[in-house]
Amino acid sequence: MYQRVALIGLGLIASSIFWAGKRGGVAAEFTGYARSKATRDTARRIGLCDRICDSAAAAVEDADLVILCVPVGAMGDVAAEIAPRLKPGAVVSDVGSVKKAVIEAVAPHLPDGVHFIPAHPLAGTEHSGPESGFAELFDNRWSLLVPVEDSDPEEVARLGRFWRALGANVEEMDAEHHDLVLAVTSHTPHLIAYTMVGVADDLRRVTDGEVIKYSAAGFRDFTRIAASDPTMWRDVFLTNKEATLEILGRFTEELFALQRAIRTGDGQHLHDYFTRTRAIRRGILDAGQDIDAPDFGRGLGRRD
Amino acid sequence: MYQRVALIGLGLIASSIFWAGKRGGVAAEFTGYARSKATRDTARRIGLCDRICDSAAAAVEDADLVILCVPVGAMGDVAAEIAPRLKPGAVVSDVGSVKKAVIEAVAPHLPDGVHFIPAHPLAGTEHSGPESGFAELFDNRWSLLVPVEDSDPEEVARLGRFWRALGANVEEMDAEHHDLVLAVTSHTPHLIAYTMVGVADDLRRVTDGEVIKYSAAGFRDFTRIAASDPTMWRDVFLTNKEATLEILGRFTEELFALQRAIRTGDGQHLHDYFTRTRAIRRGILDAGQDIDAPDFGRGLGRRD
């Protein structure tokens, strides 16, 4: 599909692209680069990428597809660094969780004759680093392509085939809508989970030991989300400010309405609200985007 | 351990007590009662309890241990109904998620010579009803005993052995502290999850279809929590009002601080906050209260 694919940044997503790419036979060669020497050493030790380079410029040399897999806040600098070494006709893509800010940061650096096709695979776990990747990460998940104004349709289609070969479903979306959808489905939920865990950690009247021991009652699901990479998430909130603040405003409004129902003892309001939210869960199960095993099937057996 | 155990209310917790109780050999006979005829019919069909009775009074006849497994708001009425039929020396317990309100609702109805020992197993899934129970639900989870002032220590110890035989760890706690700990580890997280799902459902600029399709980015974990039984949760919030409102206040305060950091671009504040919350996750894993498989091991394979 591509002769040489360069992965810049070697964390969970890049390492999963490599393993899924090997499984799917999408490229003759993968090169890789990470800023930290320790990460490059780990990558070499575990056989991540066919060749690990000691500079981003060397990694992108002769590559047909370059995927920027660094935190959103680092995209601009990396683009500036690799721009002079990009092969004419090469495709530059990325995996950032925010799209408007990445386009603004990257596009100005890219020379004419290079195709820029931003993308965002909606997949991840709470683990990070080069050893956290696995070939199945993208299976049946969505990868969103966010073409810019002058993206070549043929190259967009080829990148779509690449992601399908990694196991993903592919859809196109414009950057502004992408950032709003992700603010709802990902960014605000993460911020809320981080907040809840922070509150528990900070509460003097309940010890950390108690919070940890009794976490199975709901709290532990929040801690899983709140264990994701801090740098990645800092950058997401700083660069998707507008949409996140909009959804946070809506969230606070709803939360205050429920809080008021609790204070005034309005059981009907609470019951109606809690009933309505069940339908969305059903939709997610029907769409194959989660499993119905109780508690995510956390190793619990069932009677039947 | 007990000759006859009566389960009043036949949902997730009661049915799991029965299956775990059979596995652990904790009683010679389980009787059961549910208000709805459909539930009783289902229970009979799937062999839930040794005997299903058509009234709560009949179910508690001659029982040594009666466990109230109904929503918190229904506890008082059920206690009043069974009180005249309780055997002298019987133990009455419950599994309610709130303890102060249950004690206030139940204790006044119970005759002298009956032991009241409130309890709360911290276990559950997002499923409900008589068919959702399974024997392993309580394994390695905590069951909190909340003795009242005149609870007989020997009967408290016996009930502790009962819960251990169901697979649980057992601890004692006073009612007020219980309600605060649960407000942090369970009640507020649930309210927040319900709120977030409600916001997504209500947002006109993002369709439900999009929310569902792209839920894997974090949102689906909230929908699982927000799929729990609406009646149970309405009652929890109405009866643990004080502690829930206290924790909600703290939550809102922290959320506003993070919102302000986003608005002002204070990346250091965000990064510090997101780093601190990782430690709690580590504690939960070390305490064996969750598994470290990425994404809860949702059927995803790993490279190694």
**Digit-coded pLDDT (tens) for B108-152:** 999 999 999 999 999 988 889 999 999 999 999 999 999 998 889
Between B288 and B236, the higher pLDDT residue: B236
On whether the CB atoms of residues B11 and B33 are closer than 8 A, the answer is: no
B79: domain range?
2-173
Query: Do B60 and B132 sit in the same domain of this protein?
Result: yes
pLDDT computed for residue A298 by the predictor:
57
- Cβ separation A284–B223 shorter than 8 A: yes
pTM equals 0.88
Instruction: Average the pLDDT over each of A29-33, A226-230, B96-100, B182-186 and give the range with the smallest value.
Output: A226-230
Tokens 């999009």, located at residue = B210
A294 within some domain: no
Nearest-CA distance A52 → chain B (Å): 19
Query: Do B145 and B225 sit in the same domain of this protein?
Result: no
Query: Do A165 and A16 sit in the same domain of this protein?
Result: yes
CA A244 to chain centre: 15
CB-CB: which of A133, A222, A238 is closest to B189?
A222
Query: Do B56 and B34 sit in the same domain of this protein?
Result: yes
Query: Do A142 and A193 sit in the same domain of this protein?
Result: no
- Strands (DSSP E) contained in B134-276 are 142-145, 169-172
**CATH number of the CATH domain containing B208:** 1.10.3660.10
The yes-or-no verdict on residue B2 having pLDDT over 60 is yes
Low-confidence ranges of chain A (pLDDT < 70): 293-304
Quick one: B192 exposed, middle or buried, by C-beta within 10 A (0-12, 13-18, 19+)?
Answer: buried
A160 within some domain: yes
Nearest-CA distance B155 → chain A (Å): 24
pLDDT computed for residue B211 by the predictor:
87
Query: Do B206 and B252 sit in the same domain of this protein?
Result: yes
On whether the CB atoms of residues B18 and B132 are closer than 8 A, the answer is: no
B291 within some domain: yes
In the predicted model, what is the mean pLDDT of chain B?
A: 92
Query: Do B28 and B146 sit in the same domain of this protein?
Result: yes
Which residue in B173, B174, B225, B296 has the most chain A C-beta atoms within 10 A of its own C-beta, making it the best mutation to test that interface? Answer: B296
The chain A residue lying nearest B127, using CA atoms, is: A294
- In total, how many domains does chain A have? 2
Query: Do B137 and B247 sit in the same domain of this protein?
Result: no
- The first and second tokens of residue A71, run together, are 């935190």
- Cβ separation A303–B133 shorter than 8 A: yes
Domain boundary among B157, B173, B189: B173
The yes-or-no verdict on residue B299 having pLDDT over 60 is no
Domain boundary among B173, B199, B229: B173
- Cβ separation B213–A180 shorter than 8 A: no
CB-CB: which of A144, A203, A273 is closest to B194?
A273
B300 within some domain: no
- Cβ separation B192–A299 shorter than 8 A: no
Query: Do B117 and B196 sit in the same domain of this protein?
Result: no
A288 within some domain: no
pLDDT computed for residue A215 by the predictor:
85
Report chain B residues whose CB lies below 8 A from the CB of A171: 213
pLDDT computed for residue B300 by the predictor:
40
- Cβ separation B208–A267 shorter than 8 A: no
Which residue in A134, A171, A190, A224 has the most chain B C-beta atoms within 10 A of its own C-beta, making it the best mutation to test that interface? Answer: A224
pLDDT computed for residue A239 by the predictor:
96
Which residue in B195, B244, B266 has the most chain A C-beta atoms within 10 A of its own C-beta, making it the best mutation to test that interface? Answer: B195
Q: What 3-state DSSP class applies to B224?
A: helix
Query: Do B44 and B67 sit in the same domain of this protein?
Result: yes
ipTM associated with this complex: 0.88
pLDDT computed for residue B243 by the predictor:
95
Which residue in B142, B188, B234, B254 has the most chain A C-beta atoms within 10 A of its own C-beta, making it the best mutation to test that interface? Answer: B234
**CATH number of the CATH domain containing A94:** 3.40.50.720
3-state percent helix, strand, coil for chain B, nearest multiple of 5: 55, 10, 30
DSSP-assigned beta bridge partners for residue A171: A144
The yes-or-no verdict on residue B302 having pLDDT over 80 is no
A186 within some domain: yes
- Cβ separation A231–B271 shorter than 8 A: yes
The chain A residue lying nearest B20, using CA atoms, is: A303
Contacts of residue A234, defined as CB under 8 A and 6 or more positions apart, other chains included, come to: A71, A73, B267, B270, B271, B274
Query: Do B216 and B244 sit in the same domain of this protein?
Result: yes
- Cβ separation B197–A277 shorter than 8 A: yes
B71 within some domain: yes
**Digit-coded pLDDT (tens) for B34-71:** 999 999 999 999 999 999 999 999 999 999 999 999 99
- Cβ separation B124–A217 shorter than 8 A: yes
- The first and second tokens of residue A88, run together, are 């004419």
CB-CB: which of A194, A271, A289 is closest to B216?
A289
B301 within some domain: no
Between B241 and A229, the higher pLDDT residue: B241
Query: Do B75 and B166 sit in the same domain of this protein?
Result: yes
